[in-house]
Chains A and B, each alone.
Chain A
């Protein structure tokens, strides 16, 4: 699932897959800005069939946090 998430994020940010690592976040990837973040949320919701709640929307800015949220809801 982590692998799937990383390639999804690479696709959404339109960057090469190897640039996205398990410890990537909005701090480490310059393309991951607030608009891209919105698209990442939509892409994750569409792909994993989950819905982020309000609180999760503001904190989930890294691969690790996204993984935790997906696991929590699945």
Chain B
């Protein structure tokens, strides 16, 4: 997760070379001096294409700033970062911990927790703050009772850990608040480097530049992951990547792969890939090889961890890898920018970097196979907040998708659709759906009429509010359950209903589900005696395919406003008979 830190001058030089295109408003609230975070945070933000606008709250003014600093929170705050360092929290806990009675310690803990709870409540109440991160307390080696502190349940270490745990519990009740585990930074750089005591006493700045750099890296990685802009698909080469050796030359039995050295290096790499697959990352192969040779390894090698069923798509041929990657992206219906390509060949990686800069391509050095697993583990591009049960079964869903495509190639479209035995489950969203639906608004690009991105709290608002209706559509068919694939947000204004958002996962496209979904929404409106529906198409880079969706569904274009559509006669109609409807509204 943590890459080594560049020296400050190099970081500044690299920062100058970057020209980020997106704005990121960050506000830091703190009880310590952390101004030196400016350069590293700008740098890590810029490397994710964010131009940083950084503001600082007053020293030791965390509560006051949240409660009454209107200037600080007048505009939107994409990210609020709270440094509430234990060294500056309570002098008693730092300098006279050994002389405190248990009662005094407990009283102090309750006081701290009540303050933290207040901070979290304030954060949740300020709607212009989109997301907040809280650094928990790091646990250094040197503690109040010396080397036996760790054995004592009343030791300083146990005390800080208990505080961390209780604060984490508090944070769970506040969807906007996330924790940064300071010990991760401390571990990554070591205690000697973490603190800069010179500046603690001089300027109330306990953290070194290195610590602030790693915190910045950690924060930006976690922020990025929380935006659901994480990578979706890992495309792998085979020879000297999944196994040691070349199957076409060494044969299945001559490959390095197994429980013993050197095969265990490749086995560990495969285990890491398998766990990414379990976490919902799609795995694909792109290899210059004979197909039969590669599948023979998958089927016959006793130590293969990856199996054919983990592979959602494969291009095993002698075509160039850039074309193959394009084809894989097409087949899986995902953007090139959500793909990560891994190969041992400098040539292939170079070619992909040059021809498909959207793809994240990196090379594994075959002379250092012992590093493969840990390099993949350190790659944070696949990290995601709020893993849902659907993520966990995504590979199965893509497998089922593949079978669907194969069947599609065999029969005519209508017969194909009715042979699918599609079950639609249409229901009003409940609060439990908010995480999944928010994720969907963030991730769906192709069939998304307005491309409005919502956070979990924003969706909760829609779900709870009377004048907004949120509907979900789940689909299953003979190949498997796709889970929730569609989401619609309707805004009711007297007799009129406006479609604020209408979106459908790409894996559900091409089977008339979108028409059925819209009809089901119309039917709801008819039942509620609403008379007119207005809808809007907001063009984005990826949603051209829905530009004419509303006119194709009997909406008329508003002559005055471009991309605005109206349906002024709403009829209750059944949906096509190859769907079986289960309605729960």
Contact = CB atoms under 8 A, between A and B. Distances in A.
B8 interface: yes
**Which has the most chain A C-beta neighbours within 10 Å: B13, B35, B198?**
B198
B35 A47 contact: no
B209 A42 contact: yes
B39 interface: yes
Interface string B31-62: 00001101100000000000000000000000
B12 interface: yes
Interface string A1-43: 0000000100110100000000000000000001100110011
B198 A42 contact: no
Interface residues of B, number: 15
Nearest to A47: B9
A34 B205 CA distance: 13
Interface residues of A, number: 16
A39 B198 contact: no
A57 B198 contact: yes
B380 to A, nearest CB: 25
Q: B-side binding surface: helix, strand, loop or mixed?
A: helix
Contact of B36 (A14, A38, A54): A38
A12 B198 CA distance: 21
Contacts, number: 38
Contacts of B36: 35, 38-39, 42
Contacts of A42: 8, 36, 209
A19 to B, nearest CB: 16
Contacts of B199: 38
B493 interface: no
Contacts of B203: 34, 38
Contacts of A12: 8-9, 12
Given A11-B13, A38-B199, A57-B202, A46 B8 contact: yes
B13 A47 contact: no
A48 to B, nearest CB: 10
Given A11-B12, A38-B35, A39-B8, A54 B209 contact: no
B7 interface: yes
B7 A46 contact: yes
Contacts of B39: 39
A54 B202 CA distance: 9
A12 to B, nearest CB: 7
Given A8-B9, A12-B8, A42-B36, 5 more contacts: A35-B38, A39-B36, A43-B7, A54-B202, A57-B202
> Which A-B residue pairs are the 8 nearest by beta carbons?
A46-B7, A43-B8, A42-B209, A35-B35, A42-B8, A46-B8, A43-B9, A38-B36
6 contacts: A11-B13, A12-B8, A14-B12, A38-B199, A38-B205, A39-B36
